[in-house]
Amino acid sequence: MPITDQDVKKALRLYPDIDAVYITSPNYEGLCANYEQIKSACEDRLLIVDEAHGAHFYFNKKMPPGAITSGVDVVTNSVHKSLGGLNGTALIHVGKQSRIPA
């Protein structure tokens, strides 16, 4: 089961000093979180998504929406896991609205 906005809200209630939320989505089974709902639950905190198994989402409209197009602050992709990277290839994307300087 993927992480939900309710999971994030609960964690932020328990640990209000959290400055950033880091999630992995899709998970190893391919289940995806709702990035927009989780971003909303984060309020003013950064949202960083490990989208290692979701690099291919951006190339077909039938796929779930990608994290970076859903407004998260930072996304990491592992090209070698779901695209044509011939060796270990990772990418870091900084969102247009992110408070993290690119």
The letter for the amino acid at 101 is P
pLDDT for the residue 83: 83
List all residues 6 or more positions away from 38 whose beta carbon is below 8 Å from its beta carbon.
Answer: 3, 4, 5, 8, 21, 23, 47
Architecture (CATH level 2) of domain 5-94: 3-Layer(aba) Sandwich (3.40)
Amino acid 40: pLDDT: 96
pLDDT of res. 101: 86
pLDDT along the chain (102 residues), means of 10: 94 97 92 96 96 90 92 92 82 92 85
pTM, entire model: 0.90
Residue 28 is predicted with a pLDDT of 85
